[in-house]
Structure 1
């Protein structure tokens, strides 16, 4: 089965992904300071999710990432949802992206990626930036199964295993794809503590090398880290990975898991100045993560167009 993701990447050469969802939802009045984070809007304001997706397509994004990073079944079960209701909620998230997709300049040159956050995101204590948690392979797979099943039932184009700090969890996810969902492809974007290591201490080169042998994984990279870590991380990755490289950092602000607020840094460099450098160092898919805006995605799209 051909992958829409790899087909579009081959056609375009480089893809621009979208930016932060929660940041834009907060601007629209959605309270994300809870354990559901941006997924709160699936219950309270789905129309605003569509609005955010539209803003990124208007900025030049070619990939809309579904608002499902924090939308795992365990979190919604606490809110009283059963598996069928949860599946409908995930379908709604995909529908929001699809509705916005029709507004893109060239809709058939865009994709919807189904976001799958790590178990650490469910803990809602910043664990996606430490990887300091341990489950068995079977426990990781049971945790992720319903969300992946629902995303595929809603027909996303590719899965995004993102902000992944824990190599054992990634291995469990890849094995879950191979055994239960062999006809879908995914990318893996790691959460790193420095340009050479995942947050759990696993060497980034080791993780990338292992993924070389996983045929369902179509791109490898890093996300939700300081944008100044991206170039050295790419330099690490391109020595060990044979996959297309994907990067989507945050804007340099720092997250406080206690207050669930971001501490602003005002002296960070611009995405527009760094995107050409990332492309030069092998990045084939470039976007933004937490605290990035449609304006920054537009700057990336312009920089890519001019390269």
Structure 2
């Protein structure tokens, strides 16, 4: 196992990721529905709300918090906030600064004994998140774009996150092999950065563009800077078969990272359909047995769910140790 991967693995179980930052902001009364910048706008309008949301996830037991930059981009900030590219870069970097400030406050307030400081992961969403049309769940746009065009789009965002001092880069909800290839090529331009790569998936075997998940994992295996590969923002029931479909090809230098949504349906015009919710805590023990070293939640998963997840995994580890 690579030293990079070892740095992001706990001896007593998986690292606990946070949940849906936008979900938590909406719980606090911030309106995001229909906004092309989604939670990234709050970096500009209410940075304290982002600090507070991060803090609640840390209190719930998260070992990793993810920046409010999934839907952030230099072009998006210029277009929707009428600012210069320099100010847009500063705003994007502020996502990392807010997260790091919150970690510092949490460590000072809570004095977690014997634990590593929480990790800040700089979120990089797919190009489809900028388009704001649900295409991060199809990847259709990649058919009309070259790898170089995708690299050119993502480069400013990754540059800002790296410069601001993200502990990790989180390539999230990536729907296509081509975009994943572009991101991994681009990552080599930032040799001091480590990352995880997680895909959006359409069924139990394929990522959103129809490519087999096993091919996505084989692509990830070639990167020396990844610490984990996996899936996010899919229904929890898809996780187990997806991991099983590629378990024989996963490099020993990589871990699985999984953080599904609540299992509820999403409609781009009307939002979340409040039915079909699944407990990620109950299913997480199986994911841990499959080798997942990073487990958390995505959309519709809040601090209470993360606390349940942590309690479930800790209880499972204790039971296993007692049985030995």
TM-score of the two chains, using structure 2 as the length reference: 0.89
Q: Which residue of 2 aligns with 1:148?
A: 158
Q: CA deviation at 1:110?
A: 1.2
Question: What SS class does the counterpart of residue 193 from structure 1 fall into?
Answer: coil
Name the residue aligned to 2:178: 168
State the Cα deviation string for residues 131-186 of structure 1 (Å, max 9, x = none). 111211121111111111111111000100000001101101100111x2112111
Name the structure 1 match of 2:280.
271
Match of 1:127 in 2: 135
What's the Cα RMSD here? 1.6
Q: Which runs of 4+ in 1 moved over 4 A?
A: 10-13
Q: Does 1:190 align with 2:192?
A: no
- Select the residue among 93, 109, 112 that pairs with 2:117: 109
Is the counterpart of residue 82 in structure 1 residue 93 in structure 2?
no
Distance 2:13 2:140 in 1: 36
Give the corresponding residue for 1:252: 263
Q: Distance in 1 between matches of 2:11 and 2:95?
A: 27
Quote the residue 2:27 is aligned against.
Answer: 27
Give the Cα–Cα distance (whole angstroms) in 1 for the partners of residues 176 and 138 of structure 2.
8
Distance, in Å, in 2 between the alignment partners of 1:306 and 1:108 is 20
Gaps of 5+ in 1: none
Q: TM-score, normalised by structure 1?
A: 0.94
Task: State the 1:60 CA deviation.
Answer: 0.4
Q: Aligned partners of 1:6 and 1:86: how far apart in 2?
A: 34
Q: Is the 8 A contact 1:161 1:187 kept in 2?
A: yes
Conserved 8 A contact 1:38-1:67: yes
Q: Superposition pairs for residues 48-67 of structure 1, below 5 Å?
A: 48-67=49-68
Contact preservation (8 Å) 2:93, 2:161? yes
Instruction: Give 1:38 deviation, angstroms.
Output: 1.0
1:118 aligns with 2:129: no
Q: What runs of 5+ residues in structure 2 fail to find an aligned partner?
A: 317-324
Deviation at 1:197, TM superposition (A): 0.5
**Structure of greater Rg:** 2
State the alpha-carbon separation in 1 of the partners of residues 288 and 306 from structure 2: 15
Deviations 1:216-266 (A, max 9, x none): 11100000001111111121232221220000000011111123x21111x
Q: Secondary structure at the match of 1:151?
A: helix
Counting matched residue pairs gives 303
Q: Deviations over 1:31-78 (max 9, x none)?
A: 212111111111111100010000000000000000000001121120
Quote the residue 1:42 is aligned against: 43
Deviations 1:189-216 (A, max 9, x none): 0000012111101110011012112111
From 239, 245, 252, give the equivalent of 1:230.
Answer: 239
Distance between the aligned counterparts of 2:228 and 2:131, measured in 1?
26
CA offset at residue 12 of structure 1? 5.0
User: Residues 277-288 of structure 1: matches in 2 within 5 Å?
Assistant: 277-288=286-297
Query: CA separation in 1, counterparts of 2:139 and 2:65?
Result: 26
Deviations 1:266-292 (A, max 9, x none): x43322211111111221110000010
SS in structure 2 at match of 1:160: strand
